[in-house]
């Protein structure tokens, strides 16, 4: 089964929310992920291929979860859950 356009758009939206969160944090440790995630969103807009969003979404999710352990109020549950749900939906669509 192919991933659906709807799941792809949800993934893009979740990644955009992660970008906003990473920008608000403004920490050097996230600069690489932030830049690559922004690039993947732009690339998706151009070619509608969500594979980069999936890959960088996973990386951003893991980094945000790790950061939240030490700074629970700086990363919202909504951003993490949104990324988790959209990544799961996208990956289920690939099977």
The answer to whether 14 touches 82, Cβ cutoff 8 Å, is: yes
Q: What SS3 string covers 62-84?
A: HHHHHHHHHCCCCCCHHHHHHHH
pLDDT at 76 over 90: yes
Q: Which residue has the tokens 């830049």?
A: 35
> Band of the pLDDT at 1, cuts 50, 70, 90?
very low
Question: What are the pLDDT digits (tens) for 13-70?
Answer: 999 999 999 999 999 999 999 999 999 999 999 999 999 999 999 999 999 999 999 9
Which structural domain range is residue 86 located in? 5-94
What total number of domains does the chain contain?
1
In which band, very low, low, confident or very high, does the pLDDT at 3 lie, cut at 50, 70 and 90? low
């Amino acid at each position: 089964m192919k991933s659906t356009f709807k799941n792809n758009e949800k993934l893009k939206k979740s990644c955009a929310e992660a970008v906003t969160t990473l920008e608000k944090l403004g920490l050097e440790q996230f600069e690489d992920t932030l830049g690559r995630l922004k690039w993947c969103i732009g690339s998706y807009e151009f070619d509608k291929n969500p594979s980069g969003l999936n890959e960088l979404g996973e990386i951003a999710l893991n980094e945000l979860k790790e950061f939240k352990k030490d700074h629970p109020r700086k990363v919202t549950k909504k951003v993490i859950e949104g990324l988790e749900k959209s990544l799961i939906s996208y990956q289920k669509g690939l099977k």
